[in-house]
Amino acid sequence: MSVKTHTRPEGPETERDQTALRPLPGLPEEVAQYIGDRPILRGEDPRVYDALFSQIAAFVAAADQIEWIWTKDIVDAVWEARRARRMRDQVLELGRSRAMKRVVENLLQDKRATTEFNKDVSKVVSSWMGPGGEAKMAEFLAQYGLDPSAIAAETFLNRAQVYEQADRMAANADKRRDGLLREIERRRAWRAQHFRDAANIVDAEAEDVTAERPRSGSLQISDKSPNDKRTKARD
């Protein structure tokens, strides 16, 4: 008896696999060794993640290692929000055929006892999937005083909880992203203010040193402007 074996080829096969093995573009190597993994699922393209990372990194223009860590977090938050929204939309789209079946089952209740019931339901639903299905669906539903929005309502009813949870997940990721961006902004503003204060202190100290210099000789030429209020006040 021959046994069929599947041998897994060694090394990356596609460009997508190769991208997943490469370090993130622009992320310093010393930071990458701790937080450099891409949080992507099977079926998600690492090249798209890298492109997003490059765009956001260019926008943030990280000044030091702390800002690089924040940049990576922002990219992950954006990626997760996108994923949650994509899934949320798919939840409704893929729940549509099940909702159609449910609506038809409810409408054909009088035939439920027959052995052909499942066949009938499947037949009706599959006829709606093909070309011109929308018109057929509208025609069928009109017989019972309904319109295609009944299917949309049924889809939403079946998936409302998951839809709401996916929406919350996306909103949470957005909040994380906004919080991190605010933190970068706050830190830069705080540092700029700190540097300004430090520069003012240095200036003031330099002026004090000039003022305290022992006067020698007959002619003293002051380098202070007569309009300098701060100097005037001190004098």
Partner 1 sequence: MTSERKRATNQQNAQRSTGPRSVAGKKTSRQNALQHGLSARLGKNPEQDQRVQGLAQIIAGPEAGASELHYARIAADATLQITRIRDLRASLMQPAAREREVFSWSFPKRVHWQRRYRSKWLTVGAIVKGALQNQDQDGRTVSASDLAAPLERFPPCPSGPEANVEIFSRFIGQVLKLDGYERRQLSRRKAALRALDALRALLS
Binding residues for partner 1, rule: CB under 8 A, are 30-31, 34-35, 37, 39-43, 65-66, 69, 73, 76, 80, 87, 90-91, 94, 115, 117-119, 122, 159, 162, 165-166, 168-169, 172, 176, 179-180, 183, 187, 190-191, 194, 198
| Least distance (Å) between residue 11 CB and partner 1 | 19
Helices marked H in the chain:
15-21, 29-35, 46-60, 65-94, 96-107, 117-129, 133-143, 149-212, 229-234
Distances (CA, A) of 111 to 117, 137, 158: 6, 19, 23
Of 74 and 150, which CB lies nearer to partner 1 in the complex structure?
74
> For residues 100 and 166, which CB has a smaller minimum distance to partner 1 in the complex?
166
Question: How far is residue 10 from each of residues 7, 14, 20, 38, 131, measured CA to CA in Å?
Answer: 9, 12, 15, 21, 45
Are the C-beta atoms of residues 28 and 68 closer than 8 Å to each other?
A: yes
Residue number, 13 or 147, with CB nearest to partner 1: 13
In the complex, least distance from residue 234 CB atom to partner 1, rounded to whole angstroms = 25
- Least distance to partner 1 from the beta carbon of 141, Å? 22
